[in-house]
């Protein structure tokens, strides 16, 4: 149904650019844009000075810092200009009062709002490893066949999520269940912000469904744990003593090169003091698998220490930490009703098929934005 000129005018007046300007103003205040601009000018002067490349490491640090500042204030300035220009577009729409102009205004408003939200989310990925690659490890919980099938479903879910994001996925290690599914698996996720997004998935994931393996068609509850570590070995300062390592080699399973099932190329490393175990079988040579496994071990040990630090900070401020093994973060209920609910943020949806097909962005974004679950968001499925 076509809008009347009066209706179009009312709708145009309802578009709240003040709210958009307030969001950008808050970001400008948080960044202290004038200070960042002064720092950028100083860094650019140093980059243009003679002998800048005499110290290559120092030069790279300056360039990296320059790029960080530009990524903050550049898009912010562009968005501020677009919001100011949008005020003029609204006035044009009021003068024209026709559907074609209204559609143009409405489309730009939606795009502007979405771009500001995306920019805010991008800025939340500011941790030391957030912009890098990630290792994600899936372990089936107690429950035998049921749990292994659930772990396999989660592995597929994250692989589909990576496809949606355009990330590259490599299966680093895989241990099949006795009958079906996956006992444990490690994936390497390669893409910008992979760790920043996936770190929100750490914890225990619970499935409630009518078991396809139960002839009596009873409802079963299954658990699987997700661990995520950064794939940034060169940036992780963790010292590991050779005497603390137990290294085993074995024949890799599954697809691979011509030697994959004939030679003991797969490597399993146990860090004896912590009990952390990592394994890699994707590479065709034992040295490459060992190097990849050591990268995962460093990342896991770093994550353990980081968790301890965060837990201590939370303890000091009277907060209960959500991070760590054993913390149930999300329920996937297939029966008696359909609902996926994050117990930390309260984010939920009844569209379980899309979630299992990799539609996880709403859950990740809610966690990144610091959304907290209320009393009504508590899990109520036995």
- 42 falls within a domain: yes
- 163 falls within a domain: no
In this prediction, residues 98-125 reach a mean pLDDT of 84
Q: Is the pLDDT of residue 188 over 80?
A: yes
Q: Is the pLDDT of residue 225 over 90?
A: yes
pLDDT of the residue at 379: 62
Least confident of 23-37, 172-186, 322-336: 322-336
In this prediction, residues 280-304 reach a mean pLDDT of 86
3-state secondary structure the chain: CCCCHHHHHHHHHHCCHHHHHHHHHHHHHHHCHHHHHHHHHHHHHHHCCCCHHHCHHHHHHHHHHHHHHHHHHHHHHHHHHHHHHHHHHHHHHHHHCCHHHHHHHHHHHHHHHHHHHHHHHHHHCCCCCCCCCEEEEEEECCCCHHHHHHHHHHHHHHHHHHHHHCCEEEEEEEEECCCCCEEEEEEEEECCCHHHHHHHHCEEEEEEEECCCCCCCCEEEEEEEEEEEECCHHHCCCCCCHHHEEEEEECCCCCCCCCCCCCCCEEEEEECCCCEEEEECCCCCHHHHHHHHHHHHHHHHHHHHHHHHHHHHHHHCCCCCCCCCCCEEEEEECCCCCEEEECCCCCEECCHHHHHCCCCHHHHHHHHCCCCCCHHHCCCCC
- 261 falls within a domain: no
Q: Is the pLDDT of residue 223 over 90?
A: yes
Q: Is the pLDDT of residue 153 over 50?
A: yes
Instruction: State pLDDT tens for residues 235-280.
Output: 677 788 888 999 998 877 654 444 445 567 889 999 999 999 999 9
Instruction: State pLDDT tens for residues 57-98.
Output: 889 889 988 988 888 888 888 999 998 888 888 787 777 766
- 25 falls within a domain: yes
pTM above 0.85, yes or no: no
| Model confidence band, residue 7 (pLDDT cutoffs 50, 70, 90) | low
Domain count, the chain: 1
In this prediction, residues 153-178 reach a mean pLDDT of 94
| Model confidence band, residue 13 (pLDDT cutoffs 50, 70, 90) | low
- 89 falls within a domain: yes
- 175 falls within a domain: no
pLDDT of the residue at 260: 46
- 282 falls within a domain: no
Question: pLDDT exceeding 90 applies to what percent of the chain?
Answer: 36
| Model confidence band, residue 4 (pLDDT cutoffs 50, 70, 90) | low
CA distance 218 to 204: 22
Residue-range definition of the domain harbouring residue 74 = 5-124
- 113 falls within a domain: yes
Q: Is the pLDDT of residue 181 over 60?
A: yes
Q: Is the pLDDT of residue 193 over 80?
A: yes
Q: Is the pLDDT of residue 6 over 80?
A: no
CATH assignment of the domain containing 16 = 1.20.58.410
Least confident of 1-10, 132-141, 192-201: 1-10
């Amino acid at each position: 149904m076509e809008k009347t000129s009066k209706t179009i005018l009312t709708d145009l007046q309802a578009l709240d650019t003040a709210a958009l300007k307030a969001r950008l103003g808050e970001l400008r205040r948080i960044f202290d844009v004038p200070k960042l601009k002064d720092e950028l000018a100083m860094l650019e002067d140093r980059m243009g000075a003679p002998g800048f490349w005499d110290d290559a490491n120092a030069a790279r640090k300056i360039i990296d810092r320059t790029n960080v500042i530009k990524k903050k204030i550049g898009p912010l300035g562009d968005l501020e200009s677009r919001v100011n220009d949008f005020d003029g577009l609204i006035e044009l729409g009021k003068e024209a009062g026709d559907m074609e102009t209204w559609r143009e205004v409405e489309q730009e408003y939606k795009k502007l709002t979405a771009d500001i939200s995306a920019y805010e989310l991008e800025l939340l990925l500011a941790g030391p490893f957030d912009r890098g690659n990630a290792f994600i490890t899936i372990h089936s919980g107690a429950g035998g066949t049921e749990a292994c099938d659930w772990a396999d479903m989660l592995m597929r879910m994250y692989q589909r999520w990576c496809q949606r994001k355009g990330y590259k996925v490599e299966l680093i290690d895989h241990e099949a269940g006795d009958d079906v599914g996956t006992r444990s698996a490690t994936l390497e996720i390669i893409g910008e912000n992979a760790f920043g997004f996936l770190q929100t998935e750490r914890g225990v994931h619970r499935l409630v469904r009518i078991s396809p393996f139960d002839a009596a068609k009873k409802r079963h509850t299954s658990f699987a744990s997700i661990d995520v570590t950064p794939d940034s070995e060169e940036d992780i300062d963790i010292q590991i003593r050779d005497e603390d390592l137990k290294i085993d080699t074995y024949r890799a399973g599954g697809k691979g090169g011509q030697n994959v099932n004939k030679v003991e190329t797969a490597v399993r490393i146990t860090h004896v003091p912590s009990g952390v175990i990592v394994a890699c079988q994707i590479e065709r040579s034992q040295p490459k698998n060992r190097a990849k496994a050591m990268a995962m071990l460093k990342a896991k040990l770093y994550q353990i220490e980081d968790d301890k630090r965060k837990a201590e900070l939370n303890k000091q401020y009277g907060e209960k930490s959500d991070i760590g093994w054993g913390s149930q973060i999300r329920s996937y209920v297939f029966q008696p009703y359909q609902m996926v609910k994050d117990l930390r943020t309260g984010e939920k949806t009844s569209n379980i098929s899309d979630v299992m097909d990799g539609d996880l962005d709403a859950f990740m974004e809610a966690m990144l934005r610091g959304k907290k679950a209320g009393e009504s968001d508590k899990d109520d499925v036995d």
